[in-house]
Amino acid sequence: MDSNVNKKHKSSVFSTLFSEPETLREVYSAIEGIDIPKDAIIDINTLSDAIYMKQVNDISFTIDNRLVVLIEHQSTISFNIPVRLLMYVGRVYEQMLDRKKLYQKSLVKIPMPEFIVLYNGREKHPDYTKLKLSTAFENTEGLKHQNNEGYPLELVVKIYNINHGRNKQILEKSKTLDSYSCFISKIWEYNKKLSLEESMKAAIEYCIKNNILKDFLEKYGSEVFNMLFTELSTEELCEIRFNEGHEIGREEGRQEGREECRQEIIDLLNQGLSAEEIKKRLT
């Protein structure tokens, strides 16, 4: 077991598993359908919050200093993810660039951004969809001339469903992503008959026995269980709130309500409350 995980920043199983340059090269190559050259440098620049000792975004990295890729992992699709990624990429550029050079006359080249969401929640979702920042813009009719020139600012997020059996062409090219997908799938499979805690323990034992993320699970041991229990408990507690009569009719409203609920639970977890204590507050 590695006791160094999460000492500096509260992380997640996903961001810990995909925290090595070569793993990111493998995953991005599988998603993009192209082999990233071995000599292309992968530089990780994931944002962190020093005050709360946690990561701000899931993963961000540059490839050969020509691409900056932001990857978010979600078990529920948030329609606000384009706005969040806009804020993240601004901070990433801020820490990458020399501000003084931005005031010079000659053009400063910057890595082109790419925004990816990897989804593996229990709700049905297509293999591939997109979300655009422009859908969040207020209606400006009567305030400016409408034209066909497009929006002055746009951001497109590509969403891939990585549940086991979906997007096979991607999972076949990335053993790590496929193994992670199988691991989570096993948890939900066991969860049909067992408690969440028992399901996670059974899935960890199954994967180690069947050489699925074996080195990772053996190396990080209880840290994986603790991180994942926090993540999945958040989802479970959100379900409890909605099942207790907090259901919102429209799908858009349901998503917004779940996002608010999730943030509330994360805040309580950051305050040191256990999943059981949070459950009592929500019900």
**How high is the pLDDT of residue 247?**
47
Where are the chain's structural domains? Answer: 13-282
**How high is the pLDDT of residue 259?**
58
**How high is the pLDDT of residue 148?**
77
pTM: 0.81
Cβ proximity of 66 and 49 under 8 Å: no
**How high is the pLDDT of residue 4?**
39
- Per residue of the chain (283 residues), what is the pLDDT tens digit? 343 333 444 568 898 999 999 999 999 999 999 999 999 999 999 887 655 446 678 899 999 999 999 999 988 888 999 999 999 999 999 999 999 999 999 999 999 999 999 999 888 999 999 999 999 999 888 888 777 778 999 999 999 999 999 999 999 999 999 999 999 999 999 989 998 889 989 999 999 999 999 999 998 877 888 777 777 766 655 655 555 544 444 445 445 555 566 667 666 666 766 666 666 666 5
How far is the C-alpha of 112 from the C-alpha of 138, rounded, in Å? 27
Q: Which residues of 94-131 are buried (b: 16+ CB within 10 A; e: fewer)?
A: eeeeeeeeeeeeeeeeebebbbbbbbbeeeebeeeeeb
Cβ proximity of 111 and 62 under 8 Å: yes
Cβ proximity of 70 and 47 under 8 Å: no
Q: Which residue has the tokens 């601004």?
A: 90
**Which are the contacts of 222, defined by CB distance < 8 A and separation ≥ 6?**
1
What is the secondary structure of 109-140 as a DSSP string? Answer: P-PEEEEEEEE--SS---SEEEEEGGGGSPP-
Cβ proximity of 154 and 134 under 8 Å: yes
**How high is the pLDDT of residue 273?**
67
Among the residues of 128-174, which ranges form H helices? Answer: 168-171
Three-state DSSP class for residue 130: strand
Terminal-to-terminal C-alpha distance of the chain? 36
